[in-house]
Structure 1
């Protein structure tokens, strides 16, 4: 029997992205997000308008989309409830967000120089996409969010993921970190307690299988 529960969020299952951008002072910002999808050599990213990442995208028009494997869940979770804005928005502060200037250091991640854009890549991510912003589409209503159309300029893939002799990623070797309803999954398994789920006051998971 289908019910109409009035779901608070609709994260049925999307890949986690570590998006790197450049701040106004030239330093790098890094933020996890999961409202992303791809078609051809383009991507669509959805994010709130008050974040430092959104501010950087509007100003610099460049980013790198770094795709963490499930093994990086701890690093992603460490930076999940942080913001690059020194003036933490009140709503985020109430959820438990805090300002962190160097989120690469907090996550234990290494910045790697990009080829075509200013934001750095995340060296530990096996897939990295250098991108530019093509256009932005504001959401209607009171969501205060924007969908960014992104052109992928160059994709870097670790050779361990490639089918030998081809330009194709082996889906059996690639285990992306997935977010489902603010919880981290990989290989269909809940991997790690989520600070984001706590901040959003989501119900605790029942691991008994019931």
Structure 2
């Protein structure tokens, strides 16, 4: 039997991406996001308009999509409730967000120079996609609250052990992406780490989530 609960969140599960971009002063910003999908050599990103990443992409037109494995969940969670925007929106303050200009340092991750774009890659991520923005589309209503970015992947860097020998394909048995389902972290089908984001958004989940 199906029910009609009137879902508040439609977030059934997508890969987590650490998106790196450049701030106006040339420093790097790093932000976790998971509203993303790929088709061919293009990708669609959904980002809220109050975030620093949105401002950076609109201004600079470049980014790197760094895909962490499930083993990197600690690093992602460390910056889950941070923002690179100096003025934090009131609703984000209530959820526990704070301004943090040194995202790489807080996440304990390493900047790695990119080949074709200015934003750095995340050295520890097994998949890194250098991208340029092709178009941006405001969405949400009645007033747009988010932006859908179409980006083109210019270059893909993949950990050698994940590539099927003699091919240009990633081994799906070796690749275990970090997945976010309804603000909780999953890998290999199992919950792998408590989520600060779920706590900040007061998600009514049935397992205990404690901040670490």
TM-score by length of 2: 0.96
Partner of 1:50: 50
Tell me if the contact between 2:22 and 2:56 (Cα under 8 Å) persists in the aligned partners: yes
SS class of match (2:79): helix
User: How many residues are aligned here?
Assistant: 207
**Unaligned stretches of 5+ residues in structure 1:** none
Deviation per CA, 1:15-50, whole angstroms, max 9, x where unpaired? 000000000000000000000000000000001111
Partner of 2:5: 5
SS class of match (1:124): coil
Partner of 2:205: 204
Partner of 1:184: 185
Structure 1 position 204, deviation (Å): 3.1
Deviation per CA, 1:187-210, whole angstroms, max 9, x where unpaired? 000000000000100013348xxx
SS class of match (2:116): coil
Q: Is 2:71 the counterpart of 1:71? A: yes
Extract structure 1 runs of 4+ deviating beyond 6 A.
none
Structure 1 position 143, deviation (Å): 5.0
Tell me if the contact between 2:138 and 2:144 (Cα under 8 Å) persists in the aligned partners: no
- State the alpha-carbon separation in 2 of the partners of residues 21 and 206 from structure 1: 34
- State the alpha-carbon separation in 2 of the partners of residues 206 and 20 from structure 1: 31
Partner of 1:111: 111
Q: Which moved more, 1:3-12 or 1:147-156?
A: 3-12
SS class of match (2:129): strand
Partner of 1:157: 158
**Unaligned stretches of 5+ residues in structure 2:** none
- State the alpha-carbon separation in 1 of the partners of residues 109 and 47 from structure 2: 23
Structure 1 position 5, deviation (Å): 1.1
Alignment of 1:26-45 (within 5 A): 26-45=26-45
- State the alpha-carbon separation in 1 of the partners of residues 61 and 206 from structure 2: 38
RMSD, matched Cα = 1.0
Structure 1 position 4, deviation (Å): 1.2
Q: Is 2:73 the counterpart of 1:83? A: no
Structure 1 position 91, deviation (Å): 1.1
TM-score by length of 1: 0.96
Tell me if the contact between 2:21 and 2:29 (Cα under 8 Å) persists in the aligned partners: yes
Partner of 2:98: 98
SS class of match (2:30): strand
- State the alpha-carbon separation in 1 of the partners of residues 102 and 85 from structure 2: 11
